[in-house]
């Protein structure tokens, strides 16, 4: 019986959309802790799941590897990154340098519309907590910090924050930080309030305390690296 023919995008724009879509689905699966650090991302299996060529999957994995979300090993393949304790400390050191700059810029450039977007996001977090939707809580908590950087209006900062938030998510999963302590929703609200008041010093102080609380909640706990990719992406 001949092997099934996978649909190949007809033009570069379609191809890019396909790569973007697969990238985003993998990204969100990691962010929601459905994919654990150390999970193998087999090219052939993922190509079959998404109905694309292995070359397309390699593009996605290369992009994720460039952002340090995935690690590529010769002869072994691609794995969801598994940050060491030293790498975790590096991530938080970088965030302590970058995020005060983000809130300073946002204090100087915020508008009522930006503050409203942040408050709406925090309400989504609160709703997810009320519903007990842990995956949504994890994803939205990380996206709050990325949203701050996007609204601050600096694309380089926004890209950096997206990468750092993902690495933080991997670290939290790997070292088993309880969600309720690792990213407290009341502190998100306090950051917004300080920004709305244009209180730069207070916004920076709360952000640094917030990062301290996240890092301080980490506990050493290795993931097993096993996952059912088909159940994750087809479920």
Residue 73 pairs with which residues in a beta bridge? 77
Asked whether this chain's domains 12-82 and 85-216 adopt the same fold, the reply is no
pLDDT at 134: 82
H runs (alpha helix) in the chain: 12-31, 43-50, 54-66, 85-109, 112-131, 134-152, 155-174, 179-182, 185-196, 200-216, 229-234
User: Low-confidence residues of the chain, pLDDT below 70?
Assistant: 1-17, 176-185, 219-232, 234-235
pTM score: 0.75
126-140 burial code (b ≥16 CB/10 A, e <16) = bebbeeeeeebbbbb
Altogether, the residues listed in the chain come to a count of 235
The CATH number of 12-82, from 3.30.230.10, 1.20.120.80, 1.25.60.10, 1.10.10.10, is: 1.10.10.10
Q: What is the DSSP string of 110-150?
A: --HHHHHHHHHHHHHHHHHHHHT-HHHHHHHHHHHHHHHHH
Angle at 187 between CA 181 and CA 190, to 5 degrees: 170
Residue 80 pairs with which residues in a beta bridge? 70
pLDDT at 92: 93
- Cα separation, 134 vs 68, in Å, equals 24
Q: Which 8-state DSSP code applies to residue 165?
A: H
Superfamily per CATH, domain 85-216: GntR ligand-binding domain-like (1.20.120.530)
Sequence ranges of the domains in the chain:
12-82, 85-216
């Amino acid at each position: 019986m001949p092997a099934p023919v996978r649909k190949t995008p007809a033009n570069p724009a379609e191809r890019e959309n396909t790569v973007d879509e697969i990238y985003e689905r993998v990204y969100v699966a990691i962010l929601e802790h459905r994919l654990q650090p150390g999970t193998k991302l087999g090219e052939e299996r993922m190509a079959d799941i998404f109905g694309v060529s292995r070359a397309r999957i390699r593009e996605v994995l290369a992009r994720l590897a460039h952002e340090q979300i995935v690690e590529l090993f010769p002869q072994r393949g691609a794995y969801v990154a598994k940050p060491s304790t030293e790498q975790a400390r590096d991530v938080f050191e970088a965030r302590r340098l970058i995020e005060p700059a983000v809130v300073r810029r946002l204090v100087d450039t915020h508008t009522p519309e930006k503050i409203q977007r942040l408050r709406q996001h925090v309400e989504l977090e609160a709703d997810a907590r009320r519903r007990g939707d842990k995956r949504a809580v994890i994803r939205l908590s990380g996206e709050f910090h990325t949203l701050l950087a996007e609204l601050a209006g600096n694309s380089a900062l926004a890209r950096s924050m997206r990468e750092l938030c993902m690495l933080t998510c991997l670290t939290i999963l790997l070292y088993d930080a309880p969600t309720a302590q690792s990213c407290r929703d009341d502190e998100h609200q306090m950051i917004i309030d300080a920004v709305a008041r244009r209180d730069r010093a207070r916004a920076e102080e709360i952000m640094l305390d917030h990062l301290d609380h996240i890092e301080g909640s980490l506990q050493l706990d290795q993931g097993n690296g096993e996952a059912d990719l088909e159940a994750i992406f087809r479920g």
